[in-house]
Structure 1
């Protein structure tokens, strides 16, 4: 999801405590599943972001918001995933998704005025 640099960063933080989990995530999640044909990285990122909203996984939402931006998903597209999640996941889940997205956009220095919709009557 973050390319070779991201994988190297994870390997650098591997300990005897987390090495089995890290190996599984690296090999199967990002090695096998994310490398399959049929969906682009951007599509996988949108889908993953939506599923994490549905599950209320706030830490992973932040990780995958960063990954989605790195994979070419626009801030507007991520916002629209959050808006769409209101219907299927509920308001509290969407609010958590929006909090995570806002935090990552601010961290990246991306303006929260994405498309001027807030100014429209």
Structure 2
């Protein structure tokens, strides 16, 4: 059986849940729950709602639809709002791409509708077609410094549109939205990038971006810690290596 603490943490997310895997794979479930919902959590300072938010982002990036839908229910049970969950899904589009996120839009709606929640949720956009580029570039400067400005200034004519897209689409369409603050959005982006793998330059960039918005090294270590049971050791250790390359121990506060 799961130990008492693991059971309590699991019950917080899934009260009165009857697991079918508990019947078919009881030994594995006890092993996993004791690790993921007790031992791992002893080494993380993330509060429960934030832990569920970064887990949802990670599961989207890895294409884990069934586990994602289960964790949407858990997130709702601990107080994450429908608007916050929708914003996590939308935030995934510029990083994982709509090809990966499409099924999660429908999966989220399935969970919400099964619980009798009204759709659509309240709009969160703060830009218009006329303001998205300007506001996006201003937001990019706050989060990633002058990197988008440098791309706009130095890119060749047949590549400059990528910098424009970063300004008006990635930042203007998504980061300017309400529903989640910039600190949370950057933790979500970090979670997605380390979970999907193969994006080390972008991971490094968003480690710095997390610094820029006020997230500490310890917070990034906490995110890596709680995601380990879901993303595995190779991607965990790669993420840890990149954080240590970019951030010193004195930034561990």
TM-score (norm 2): 0.42
* Alignment gaps of 5+ in structure 2: 1-8, 129-253
Instruction: Return the alpha-carbon distance in structure 1 between the equivalents of residues 47 and 13 of structure 2.
Output: 19
Instruction: Return the alpha-carbon distance in structure 1 between the equivalents of residues 107 and 48 of structure 2.
Output: 20
After TM superposition, list the pairs within 5 Å mapping 1:78-117 onto structure 2.
78-116=85-123
The runs of at least 4 consecutive aligned structure 1 residues that moved more than 6 Å come to none
Answer yes or no: is the 8 Å Cα contact 1:34–1:41 preserved in 2: no
Instruction: Return the alpha-carbon distance in structure 1 between the equivalents of residues 104 and 40 of structure 2.
Output: 23
Which of structures 1 and 2 has the bigger CA Rg?
2
* Alignment gaps of 5+ in structure 1: none
Structure 1 window deviating more from structure 2 (90-99 vs 76-85): it is 90-99
The aligned counterpart of 2:63 is 56
Per-residue Cα deviation, 1:16-63 (whole angstroms, up to 9, x for no partner): x41221012220112222455411111011001000000111110110
The aligned counterpart of 2:22 is 14
Instruction: Return the alpha-carbon distance in structure 1 between the equivalents of residues 89 and 12 of structure 2.
Output: 29
Instruction: Return the alpha-carbon distance in structure 1 between the equivalents of residues 42 and 16 of structure 2.
Output: 17
Answer yes or no: is the 8 Å Cα contact 2:13–2:75 preserved in 1: no
Instruction: Return the alpha-carbon distance in structure 2 between the equivalents of residues 70 and 40 of structure 1.
Output: 14
TM superposition shift of 1:8: 6.3
The aligned counterpart of 1:28 is 35
Answer yes or no: is the 8 Å Cα contact 2:13–2:78 preserved in 1: no
